[in-house]
A and B are shown apart, each in its own frame.
Chain A
């Protein structure tokens, strides 16, 4: 082995050894945050069920961020997967359950369908870049909207699917009812946290898995190449990567996460509104992600939480929610261009560098 080879091997070893600590810290922080979330939301006056809805919606935003943040593709069509997943889950639970709607079956059907849809749409849209890519995803989303609206027998058209049956969750021989309430908790001055269902625990577990998957993915070999292609596609082609296949794969993963998100929301809410597949929905994932922080693991989830919470509080008081949402978006873009999480991370990095310099100076 040459000196260069030895250097490379020891480098690889060093990189691997610091992994475990980071992973543990990541899981611990995430679990803590997810456990505290319903309490914080309750203290801030969010209605019961909002915490679950935020986590489940945030999963689609996390998928969207894989595209925008990590692959550099701005899609205006995430709602075709989010809404599409909701409808597939709703239809499976309503029609193909034989009286025993099964959560796994409905979710699996939704994820597989949306992944396939993303693959077919992706074959076409990944040929294009920038504004053309954005417009083409929008066009496909509008087509899906039209199909859903017209297929009234299955989807109930403009009124959306009401009364999706409650699903059971078969689990090692028994069936868990996610609508079971958790024991009430007295929070002293913050009131009494009663209405939390088992659904929240399930949503938190799925969210933890999705966050962990995202973190592993962006640090993986796949994520590394995705980053290379985002930064310089021409060079990436001329070191031997196929940018198109990477863009397609990212599109399918984002679509599948959208489907997962929409399906779980549909089963939790027991309704699938027509809006879930509409253009506003696609736009909201852009807003959630940018407000929270593009190219960060937690950003899209935090953005979803902040915007959905504010919408919940503000739209009860005034009709001007849309105006306020727009203003928030503008303010974030102007004053926090890296989003909430992105700005926090940047500050921490600067402070760390400052500390390192201070330490290094004798």
Chain B
């Protein structure tokens, strides 16, 4: 099977600081891949470069065999890469339903349309996609609430609903359960399992029990480098990974010269 999303020598530098250095990474269709690592390992930067928030400094990104390294964020959304943010990134003044409608409209309409004489309400496909996404996240009950008034957990789930409303093939989830209550986190975990049956999911998360339980495979980042990639079991037993997480940097640094 050929990779759905892959990077070669992907680097992102801020001044002299390399947040991501020479990352070779590849995900198969349908995989649920976790990206883990200690704080400052470059996980969020990696997602930002994959999603198109910030351009790569070097290296290439290929999606379905196509070079998307220089495609802007909105182009990647239309190719099928969607993202839920670390801090829920919403339209706080709008209702929950309108948040999902914006996303569905973006997907149905495309990057730009000079539709100055017609309302989006004529597009039944938009309403349908928005309602479907809300239903999946069990947000239909609060659909008419102003989303700024939602609880933290509901905001995070609405952010995922927005990503889903663009009907992606790859979903990037940046710490989806961070800050959630135990119940909310459990509900979200079940949802991620269900989503993983339909699409490729990349997930950054600090909750190790969650990660070990749901991932098909795990990539460990450390100081901007890929430290290891493997099944949860392989990663758990990898001494270099243990070393990195226990705070000893020497061995990891040795490994990368």
The answer to whether B112 touches A238 (Cβ under 8 A) is no
The CA of A277 and the CA of B47, in the complex, are separated in Å by 48
A225 contacts the other chain (Cβ, under 8 Å)?
A: yes
A184 within 8 A of B: no
Q: Convert B122-138 into 0s and 1s, putting 1 for each residue whose CB lies closer than 8 angstroms to a CB of A.
A: 11100110111011000
Q: List chain B residues, Cβ under 8 A from A2.
A: 132
Q: Which residue of A lies closest to B165 (CB)?
A: A239
Q: Please state if A8 and B94 are interface contacts (CB–CB under 8 Å).
A: no
Q: Is A194 an interface residue (CB 8 A)?
A: no
Cα A8 to Cα B94 in complex, Å, equals 18
**B128 touching A240 by the CB < 8 A rule?**
no
* Contact, CB under 8 Å: A240 / B74: yes
Q: Check B127 against A225 for contact (C-beta < 8 Å).
A: no
Within 8 A of A (CB), among B149-191: 162-163, 165-166
The answer to the question of A4 belonging to the interface, with a C-beta cut-off of 8 Å to chain B, is yes
Whether A221 and B105, one on each chain, are in contact in the complex, defined by CB atoms closer than 8 angstroms, is: yes
**A5-B131, A240-B106 are known contacts. Are A16 and B115 too (CB-CB below 8 A)?**
no
Taking a contact as CB atoms under 8 Å apart, the answer to whether B118 and A224 are in contact is no
Is the pair B105, A225 in contact by a Cβ cutoff of 8 Å?
yes
Contact A245 B111 (CB under 8 A): yes
Stretch from A170-178, A199-207, A228-236, A285-293 contacting the other chain: A228-236
Interface residues on A, range: 35 or more
Please measure, in the bound complex, the distance between the C-alpha atom of A181 and the C-alpha atom of B166, giving whole angstroms: 59
Asked if A216 contacts B116 (CB within 8 A), the reply is yes
Say which one of B9-17, B83-91, B200-208, B226-234 lies at the interface with A: B83-91
B39 at the interface (CB under 8 A from A): no
Q: Would you call B127 and A11 a contact (CB within 8 A)?
A: yes
Cβ B117 vs Cβ A4 within 8 A: no
A220 within 8 A of B: yes
B77 within 8 A of A: yes
Specify which chain A residues have a CB less than 8 angstroms from the CB of B51 in the assembled complex. Answer: 238
Note all chain A residues with C-beta closer than 8 A to B163: 238
- Structural contact, B128 and A224, CB atoms closer than 8 A: no
Residue of B106, B123, B132 touching A239 (CB-CB under 8 A): B106
- Say yes or no: is A162 at the interface (Cβ < 8 Å to chain B): no
Q: Are B122 and A12 in contact (CB under 8 A)?
A: yes
Which residues does chain A contribute within 8 Å of B96, judged by CB atoms? none
B102 on the interface (CB 8 Å rule)?
yes
Chain A positions within 8 Å of B105 at CB level: 221, 224-225, 239
B114 at the interface (CB under 8 A from A): yes
How far is it, in angstroms, between the C-alpha of A12 and the C-alpha of B128 when the chains are bound? 10
- B103 within 8 Å of A by Cβ? yes
CA distance A198 to B74 in the complex (A): 50
In the complex, A150 has a CB within 8 A of chain B: no
* Docked-complex contact A240 and B111, CB < 8 angstroms: yes
Given contacts A217-B116, A231-B94, A242-B112, contact A8 B124 (CB under 8 A): yes
Asked whether any CB of chain B lies closer than 8 Å to the CB of A222, the reply is: yes
Give Cα A157 to B67, complex, Å.
54
Chain B positions 67 through 107: 1 when the CB is less than 8 Å from some CB of chain A, otherwise 0: 00000111001100011000001111110000000110111
Which A residues between 1 and 35 are near B, CB-CB below 8 angstroms? 2, 4-5, 7-9, 11-12, 15-16
Q: Encode contact with B along A52-94: 1 for CB under 8 Å, 0 otherwise.
A: 0000000000000000000000000000000000000000000
- Asked if A237 contacts B120 (CB within 8 A), the reply is no
CB distance from B96 to the nearest CB of A (A): 14
Assembled-state Cα–Cα distance A225/B124 (Å): 17
B113 and A222 contact, CB distance less than 8 A:
yes
Chain B residues whose C-beta falls within 8 Å of the C-beta of A246 in the assembled complex: 112
For B91, the chain A residues whose CB sits under 8 A away are: 228, 231-232, 235
A-B contact pairs, 15 of them (CB 8 A): A4-B134, A5-B128, A5-B131, A8-B131, A220-B115, A220-B118, A221-B120, A225-B109, A232-B91, A234-B53, A237-B73, A239-B162, A240-B74, A242-B72, A242-B111
Residues of B within 8 A of A (CB): 51, 53, 72-74, 77-78, 82-83, 89-94, 102-103, 105-107, 109-124, 127-128, 130-132, 134-135, 140, 162-163, 165-166
10 smallest CB-CB distances across A and B, nearest first, come from A8-B127, A240-B106, A239-B106, A4-B131, A221-B115, A242-B111, A240-B77, A239-B103, A245-B112, A221-B120
Q: A5-B128, A220-B119 are in contact. List 14 more A-B contacts (CB 8 A).
A: A7-B131, A219-B119, A221-B109, A224-B119, A231-B91, A231-B93, A235-B91, A235-B162, A238-B74, A238-B77, A239-B106, A240-B111, A241-B112, A242-B72
